Structure 1
Amino acid sequence: MNIEEESTYLPLPDRSRSPKFALAGFVLLSFGALLGVTVAIQEPWMNARDLPTNTWLRDLGVSSQWLANVSDWLSWIGSGARTVPIVLTVSVLLVIFRKWQWALFLLASSQLGFLVSNSVKYLVGRDRPPWGEFTARQTGTSFPSGHSFTGIASWVAIGIIVLYVFPKRWSRAACGLICTMGILVGVSRLILARHWVTDVLGAWLLASGWLLLVWAGFLWLFEERLSAEHDDQGSMIGKNTSN
């Protein structure tokens, strides 16, 4: 890879690092699954342990209108009704601009991740916190937090795409902003008292593990091809500069 290309885009991690990412993903998924099993077996005990922290975070939202408003917006943008159309739009744009590998990465992380999250929800069957009103569909689906899972599996995945697809002079800042928003979606669910603390923690563990597994597969399948394309683009840049 030449100097011009290196100065424009961040290089992808080498394909040889895929097993390490996969191992990290497996470890995080295992911890998330272990937490889910603990919640399913010892739900009253876990609820009692979560309650003080949940109460404190809920009281923060009640006492601060701006914090409640920000949390409402984060939960709104992090919901499936908003995230799914955004993911599909980004995927279509990636295909149009001949970056279909990244579209596969995003769809695998977000949409297959949705199946992972929902499967665990119905297996664990945890009740919601004792505040607010919940629909019959929401009852018994507290673990893991779907919004928190989506914040990682969809929004952090988009942040990773931005980091590597766009020029690095601003892609780092954009990636940081998108990823921060994705993480804060989970925090917003605690401020709004829609989930237990361990619901959000479990979602972060499961979603991060799933994202790392998808990332490992993506690098294993496509890193060499994408790096070669960047090399070709860099050669063209070098020729144009010399002319």
Structure 2
Amino acid sequence: MRKQLTVITALVISFASVHAQDATIEKIREQGLTQSKVMEYAFRLTDANDSRLTNSPGYFRAANWAKNELTKLGLVNAALEPWGDFGKGWDLKKSYIAMTTPYYRPLIGFPKTWTKGTGGLKNAEIIVIKAADSAALEAYKGKLKGKIIMLHRTDTLKPTYKPDAERWSDEDLSKMAAAKMDTSRRRGGPSRNVVGSMPITTRIRKLAEAEGAIAQLS
């Protein structure tokens, strides 16, 4: 009789625990499905505060917004924690590129992060560098001062008639879910093409800087 009572008591406790878990899970589901603020938070952290490059004004706007929002939610001691010396930040104030001859045409382009400014509007000749090695690069020495540099490219843009975005079908999603991870050990590293192109592009950049080129378009 005592064993039966023990089993019944254990079952009652087990059912009560499961019921409590179900209630908690349901509350989490309710919050996620009807009270979610994911899109609002994503908007505030990204579009509303701009890019969040380390030490940039956009980063501090987003970080301070997150800190203040955590405080509003009831968390205590929300603060921005320093993690060490980083140096100066970087922020884009204004960027403008246009072709002026043989006719005017505005160009779409953005400076890479951490690049120097031009110190105002510059009008300069374009010079296209066709150099696959150091020997070919020698021909451009003494010709880059005050110029805008472009690298010669051999690839071409091919037309496409497919939409930029496609919705995955149920079959596609099932294949993704059933995919198995490759656990074989491979030695990582850049491809042969990348390794081969890095030295010459680095030498071109250093030559352009040394000779006083205005900018390099990539």
TM range (shorter): under 0.3
**What TM-score does the superposition give when structure 1 sets the normalisation length?**
0.20
**What TM-score does the superposition give when structure 2 sets the normalisation length?**
0.22
